[in-house]
Structure 1
Amino acid sequence: MTQSKPMEVSQLDRLMKPHTEAQSGLVWLSPLHSPFRISGFPWLRQDGKYRRLPVASPWPIPPAVDSLANCTAGGQIAFMTDSRKLSIRVRLSGPANMPHMPSTGQCGFDCYLGMNGEFTFYSTSKYDHTRTEYEVDLFALESKQMRAVTLYFPLYQGVEEVELGLEADALVQAPSPYASSKKVILYGTSITQGGCASRPGMAYPNILSRSIPLEFVNLGFSGNGRGEPELARIIGEIENPGCYILDYEANSVSPEKLRETLPEFIRILREKHPEVPIIVVSRIQYSMDRFDSRLNANRLANLEFQRQTVEQLRENGDRRIHFYDGSSLLGDRYHECTVDGIHPTDLGFLLMADGLNPFIREVVAELLEDHPPTK
């Protein structure tokens, strides 16, 4: 009996092949320097690292959170250029190693091009996922004209170094400014961080950032966004907060733990920033909620507690705190929108962003005057 050979799809379909080297004749630039804008790393100027929390903090950071802070979820590079070519050179902290999330989402960069105020996905970095360093092409276009470029950092891996390759005669300019210097700061779980998006641009905070022209800071910590008071104090130190979104119920372990942490987390933020809007979001529905009565009962108890907590605070005079029922975000087909029953697919993330978008825009409306929604 003849033994069949393993199928190599990349040998059958050229579009499935990883890029092995960047285009020649390019000038390599660091995005750490003007006119490039890097967002999503509040302590970058202080520490010089693509990291989501400070290297040294006056408050103790749980070891798991400290490690996950090196994942670059939510980081963005933005600029304008007339270069017809763009390549990227990346050195990662480690290789792709997740069984249920594509290497493009865990370790890749996404490229979006802006035209007429809208962002259009163009490409992602396809590379040999066993490597920790890669050079890939992001675009090779026909015409030489100024375009807005936004690059999204990997969701579940650290980035030690990144350089951009552009044509030698290309113009590079600063991107259009945000509507405000205020930031939208999300604190939450693996779902907030972006697990398990197929590519970085599809994490729901990144989708939101393409429609709401403010800097988004993604502080989702996979399995470890648990509402510790130390994290509330660290988050409260981020300059120019425009809105806090608390989406950590799924990591709260139990209804009892959520009752312990949520009021204190809110109190600490309010002590530092009494007027900044806060949105508390309950978790999305899981596929197993339909079959696990205890899990579903905990979800309903947590949902009601969060709603009541916000209502009580509003009755006590805090009119800038809001509640959003996250169980409605995926609709009736919620069980079709995840990779593993919990973590959304790209469709799930798109539904989450579409549901949250108008609510967030209303909460931060005063920051968005004269800035209609974009795509």
Structure 2
Amino acid sequence: MHTEHHWTTTPITADLVRGAAELEPTAHGVLPHRLPARARAQCTDARLALAEAQPSGVRLVFRTRATAVELETMPTKLVYLGAPPRPQGVYEILVDGRHAGEASVDGGTTLTIDMTTGAVERQPGPTGVIRFADLPQRAKDVEIWLPHNESTELVALRTDAPVAPAADQGRRVWLHHGSSISHGSNAMRPTATWPALAAATAGVELVNLGFSGNALLDPFVARAMRDTPADLISIKIGINIVNADLMRLRAFGPAVHGFLDTIREGHPTTPLLVTSAIYCPIHEDTPGPGAFDSDALADGQVRFRATGDPAERAAGKLTLGVIRDELARIVQRRGHDDPNLRYLDGRALYGESDYAELPLPDQLHPDTAGHHRISQRFAELAFATDGPFADQNS
């Protein structure tokens, strides 16, 4: 057993955290946010608040000779009444870029959500500790990836040797915004989301602004992207616009232009890739809103369905097909004056034949194998030598 005096406690500060916009001081420690306070103040939507505080792509990164690392956290776990239990959030440790273990934290706050009424009940609980031991006894870069689907207050970092911020590897920073699929829904661990996998394949630093249910062309997200340093930028747009049923075609085009205009204010020549939704049969030609399939819930399964009428497309209701056509048209038009803007049809990442082989288990989100497929395709297409994210220095 270790004795207490072997352990060094290191304050968790911004120079040890990557992928977060800011760290909010809390009663227990600090809470990583993926949107800055100014952006959060402009939207009171509870689902966005949950999503942006779930630290997809956020990791502690440091250099140390420690052979044992402890992280004390206060997670927030979600329970949906009537739905199957959600898997525990996973913390993953990487040593010099290689997977070296994973663990989950018991305890924490529990939010019980009634999907029929929207009522939320909060049950406080204790902090929890994960420990990774038997690490190599040498100087090394250590990354602890936080759960992509479980917000987590960072309480204390303890090691059996001193910790210093890791050196900047000089890798390009890839800033990505998208929906729950980019957030990582249904991936089993934080490095298995498709953006994390694609970033690892391409050797770039990920900043993931994938927000479950909230890729809605919000101006405050565009401003956050404008103000975030980045070498490569992508936005993946479509599915939430349809399944939230928030806008019609008349509003959609100008909203896309405005979003791109805002990003370009801060990144006038940065490679910018606009990607449409992956293949999703329920919404290809059927507008939203999307809804839980009540029959499936009664059987203890989570599935989604489209509730709109395809005939309503004539009145400007949006489907994935309509949105892909509009995005392609917008990017082509803007491309005359913006040679660093490109379009990627999301069906090139996951199309009809992929759906036949690796179906979407809940009709909306890919599983871990699906994330892997999407990441491979994105890396091949975006980071190819003639792709929009080609490394000009290689």
Superposition TM-score, scaled by structure 2 size: 0.73
- Residue number in structure 2 paired with 1:109: 91
Question: Which shifted more, 275-284 or 119-128?
Answer: 119-128
In structure 1, what is the Cα distance between the partners aligned to 2:234 and 2:85? 25
Deviation at 1:275, TM superposition (A): 1.0
Find 1:144's aligned residue among 116, 137, 144: 137
- Residue 88 (1) aligns with residue 88 (2): no
- Residue number in structure 2 paired with 1:204: 194
Deviation at 1:28, TM superposition (A): 4.8
String of CA shifts for 1:212-235, please: whole Å, max 9, x gaps.
Answer: 343322112211221022321232
Find 2:206's aligned residue among 216, 220, 238: 216
- Residue number in structure 1 paired with 2:294: none
Please give the secondary structure, in 2, of the residue aligned with 1:74: coil
Provide closer, same or farther for how the CA distance between residues 127 and 334 of structure 1 changes in structure 2, counting only shifts above 3 A: farther
Where do residues 123-142 of structure 1 align in structure 2 (5 Å cutoff)?
123-125=102-104, 127=106, 133-141=127-135
- Residue 76 (1) aligns with residue 59 (2): yes
CA contact (8 A) 2:57 2:206 kept: yes
AA in 2 matched with 1:349: H
Where do residues 205-354 of structure 1 align in structure 2 (5 Å cutoff)?
205-238=195-228, 240-253=229-242, 256=249, 257-286=251-280, 288=282, 294=310, 298-314=319-335, 316-331=336-351, 332-335=353-356, 336-354=358-376
Work out the number of aligned pairs and report it: 335
Identity of aligned residues (%): 19
CA contact (8 A) 1:337 1:347 kept: no
- Residue number in structure 2 paired with 1:7: none
AA in 2 matched with 1:41: A
- Residue number in structure 2 paired with 1:42: 21
AA in 2 matched with 1:42: A
Provide closer, same or farther for how the CA distance between residues 127 and 227 of structure 1 changes in structure 2, counting only shifts above 3 A: same
The gaps in structure 2 that reach 5 residues or longer are: 111-124, 287-308
The gaps in structure 1 that reach 5 residues or longer are: 1-21, 371-375
- Residue 122 (1) aligns with residue 101 (2): yes
AA in 2 matched with 1:50: P
AA in 2 matched with 1:186: H
String of CA shifts for 1:243-301, please: whole Å, max 9, x gaps.
Answer: 22111311112662533421221122223322122111111112546896949992222
Once superposed, what is the RMSD of the aligned Cα atoms? Answer: 3.4
Please give the secondary structure, in 2, of the residue aligned with 1:246: strand
AA in 2 matched with 1:334: Y
- Residue number in structure 2 paired with 1:32: 12
String of CA shifts for 1:23-74, please: whole Å, max 9, x gaps.
Answer: 765525346249x631111234999641111123497235343443222111
In structure 1, what is the Cα distance between the partners aligned to 2:278 and 2:153? 33
AA in 1 matched with 2:95: L
Find 1:54's aligned residue among 36, 39, 43: 36
In structure 1, what is the Cα distance between the partners aligned to 2:329 and 2:319? 15
